[in-house]
């Protein structure tokens, strides 16, 4: 199968990595991380596989106990785990997203929708120029979804206008790890309504697994305001004074995070495998 990353694992006989949670056949991080390869290695990779994973997050408030980098940290960890399981290359994570509505909280760094649109477009076209035909975006932030999808449409158009050799075969897919059915149902069964919609215990649990030092920030929190609409940043802070939307991140445990990572990676590995084989 031309696109299938599993091919790569078998060919290269890669060994286990220390912080992985599955399988002894998986590749080491240095063979799947684009930022650790040379251009000659990327050229060689493209002769076997035309797929690549691009993680994207956001740098924004996650309530009084959650790390600002939650969405980028989680997307990157899921992307690397999918890369380890498939042998498909993982590009460096894009840490900034569309977080305009969180700007009333310090530490939030947002791209305007139009900026994010252009960033995604330019990254996709860069990959297409080199012959990548399948770009699988693993996203950690709901606020990025609409813009990423618009950017896909523009990128197809640009690839055709630029007459890139891959234009006809180019495919982009967006996968939101927190919306994977297995992750969603596990979060509901562990936390019920207290999963909420922002600074959720599921995403905080994953950061506690990835960075145990974050445990020291966790504490009991007052009842959160229930989930409601999102308008501008000042309005957001008035409606949701500590940044949470209906969530109770004090329920999060690192052991849950390990399970969420496994479930997200399993689900997205299936999606990616199907995507790479699609005509």
Contact characters 19-48, Zn ion, x per CB under 5 A: ------------------------------
CA 140 to chain centre: 4
Query: Can you tell me the distance from the alpha carbon of 215 to that of 203, in angstroms, rounded to the nearest whole number?
Result: 13
Closest CB 93 distance from Zn ion, rounded Å: 14
Point out which span in 33-41, 87-95, 129-137, 195-203 binds Zn ion (CB under 5 A).
195-203
- Whichever of 74 and 86 has its CB closer to Zn ion, that residue is 74
- Whichever of 89 and 199 has its CB closer to Zn ion, that residue is 199
Query: Can you tell me the distance from the alpha carbon of 70 to that of 62, in angstroms, rounded to the nearest whole number?
Result: 7
For residue 195, state whether it binds Zn ion (rule: CB under 5 A): no
Residue with tokens 């922002």: 198
State the residue number with the nearest CB to Zn ion. 71
Closest CB 155 distance from Zn ion, rounded Å: 25
User: 175 by DSSP, 3-state: which?
Assistant: strand
Residue pair 166/159 in contact (Cβ under 8 Å)? The answer is yes
Please give the sequence-ordered ranges of beta strands (E in DSSP) within the chain, or none if there are none: 51-56, 89-90, 134-139, 171-176
Query: Can you tell me the distance from the alpha carbon of 50 to that of 131, in angstroms, rounded to the nearest whole number?
Result: 7
| Site residues (CB under 5 A) for Zn ion, limited to 141-180 | none
Q: What are phi and psi of 171, to 5 degrees?
A: -140, 135
- Whichever of 51 and 224 has its CB closer to Zn ion, that residue is 224
Closest CB 203 distance from Zn ion, rounded Å: 5
Q: Report the candidate in 52, 71, 53 with the shortest Cα–Cα distance to residue 62.
A: 71
Closest CB 99 distance from Zn ion, rounded Å: 9
| The two structure tokens encoding residue 230 | 């999102």
HSE of 13 in the Cβ direction (CA atoms, 13 Å)?
Answer: 0
Closest CB 102 distance from Zn ion, rounded Å: 10
For residue 71, state whether it binds Zn ion (rule: CB under 5 A): yes
Closest CB 210 distance from Zn ion, rounded Å: 14
- Whichever of 26 and 71 has its CB closer to Zn ion, that residue is 71
Point out which span in 129-137, 159-167, 203-211, 220-228 binds Zn ion (CB under 5 A).
203-211
Point out which span in 69-77, 150-158, 211-219, 233-241 binds Zn ion (CB under 5 A).
69-77
Query: Can you tell me the distance from the alpha carbon of 63 to that of 217, in angstroms, rounded to the nearest whole number?
Result: 11
Chain positions contacting Zn ion, by CB under 5 A: 70-71, 203
């Amino acid at each position: 199968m031309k696109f299938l990353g599993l091919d790569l694992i078998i060919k290269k006989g890669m060994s286990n990595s220390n912080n992985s949670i599955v399988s002894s056949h998986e590749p080491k991080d240095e063979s799947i991380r684009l930022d650790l390869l040379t251009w000659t290695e990327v050229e060689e990779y493209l002769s076997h596989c035309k797929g690549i994973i691009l993680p994207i997050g956001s740098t924004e408030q996650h309530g009084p106990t959650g790390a600002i980098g939650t969405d980028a940290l989680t997307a990157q960890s899921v992307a690397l785990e999918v890369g380890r399981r498939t042998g498909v290359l993982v590009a460096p994570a894009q840490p900034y997203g569309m977080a305009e509505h969180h700007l009333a909280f310090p530490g939030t760094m947002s791209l305007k929708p139009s900026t994010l649109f252009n960033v995604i477009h330019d990254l996709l076209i860069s990959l297409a120029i080199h012959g990548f035909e399948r770009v699988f975006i693993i996203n950690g932030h709901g606020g990025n979804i609409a813009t990423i999808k618009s950017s896909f449409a523009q990128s197809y158009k640009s690839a055709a206008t630029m007459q890139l050799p891959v234009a006809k075969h180019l495919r982009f897919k967006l996968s939101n790890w927190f919306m994977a059915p297995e992750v969603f149902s596990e979060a509901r069964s562990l936390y019920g309504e207290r999963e909420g919609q922002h600074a959720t215990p599921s995403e905080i649990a994953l950061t506690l697994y990835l960075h145990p030092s974050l445990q020291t920030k966790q504490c009991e929190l007052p009842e959160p305001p229930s989930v409601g609409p999102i308008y501008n940043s000042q309005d957001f802070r008035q409606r949701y004074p500590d940044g949470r939307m209906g969530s109770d991140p004090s329920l999060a445990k690192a052991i849950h995070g390990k399970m969420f990572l496994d479930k997200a990676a399993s689900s997205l590995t299936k999606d990616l495998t199907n995507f790479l084989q699609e005509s």
